[in-house]
Amino acid sequence: MGYALINQGIGSLRKEPDYESSLEDEALYGMKVMIIGQEDNWYKVMTHYRYTGYVNGKELLFNQDKIQAWDQAEKQVVIKSYADILSIPKFQGYILESVPRGGIVALAEQRGKDSGENENGFTKVMLCDGRTGYIRSSMIKPCPQSMYEDTYPYYRAAGVDEGDNVRRFLKEQYKMNEEEFRAKVTATALSYLGTQYRWGGKSSLGIDCSGLCSMSYMIEGLVIYRDAKIMEGFPVRAIPYEEAKKGDLLYFPGHIAMYLGNGKFVHSTGRAGDDGVVLGTFQKEEEGYREDLWKMLITAGTVF
């Protein structure tokens, strides 16, 4: 049935075609989704990370010419909690759109002398509906291709060790080695500290445990399964906790965290008193000790 673009800051994927239905996931501004069904003005969509839900039509852009132009544009991902796209390269401009961390905009011109960067620290960008505006240059970075459309599966066809596939993918696609990726993915996860817990959330306005881990990986260019379990077809394999390194994942019943090393981790939790993205530890003498999670630990997971 074709494709559409998420045309507002956060697109809500509902379990059923009703705003009162539970929030299953959030697709962020500029992401392309596949339309797989329709009920009135509700569209069942599949994201490029293979998650499904119902999105109201007012949150989608269907114009195929604009989608084609968007596909060909040089995209940037927002890396700050929230960023305004302004009408002029000054803070006095009016707000065209507000985009959360992980949302996508495009350069209004290709990189080079006409890249659109302004001496005032703004970059000219294009929104997915074709409007142009200005964003602070420090609030965006080049968008990894797999954040917009998962390109990793093509590497699986090589039939070699999964970890070697990931290393080759990161090196060829993003000029990153394993250590650099581990550092980047943990830094991104930590940038969400203090964000409130939101079931199904994937943004700096609210995020759940698997949303935190999957977005941190996606922003750095690798798509993992969106839920708190290891799923065949995604580049995560189980390893003993003792082998876990910085950036690896910790799996519990219905919960997931990102390991930081030395028994520490970052996670999004709805536990009273935490209420969002916080640091935790398995070290008894340290603040944030989670004996309950230690006792429930199922496995660690790695993409390497």
Measure the CA–CA gap between 157 and 3, rounded to whole angstroms: 26
Q: Which of 128, 143, 209, 213 is catalytic?
A: 209
Residue 153: helix, strand or coil by DSSP?
helix
CA torsion 300-213-255-154 (nearest 10°) is -70
**CA 84 centroid distance within chain:** 18
End-to-end CA distance of the chain: 36
Measure the CA–CA gap between 219 and 188, rounded to whole angstroms: 8
Measure the CA–CA gap between 128 and 67, rounded to whole angstroms: 7
Nearest to 281 by CA among 262, 300, 301: 262
Q: Which residues of 34-51 are buried (b: 16+ CB within 10 A; e: fewer)?
A: bbeeeeeebbbbbbbbeb
Active site residue 267: yes
Instruction: List residues bridging with 276 in a β-sheet.
Output: 196, 269
Measure the CA–CA gap between 57 and 25, rounded to whole angstroms: 16
Q: Which of 128, 143, 213, 255 is catalytic?
A: 255
Q: How are the residues of the chain apportioned to helix, strand and coil, as percentages rounded to the nearest 5?
A: 25, 35, 45
Q: Which two tokens stand for residue 5?
A: 């673009």
Active site residue 48: no
Query: Is 54 within 8 Å of 16 (Cβ atoms)?
Result: yes
Which residue shows structure tokens 């079931």?
199
Active site residue 209: yes
Give the active site residues: 209, 255, 267
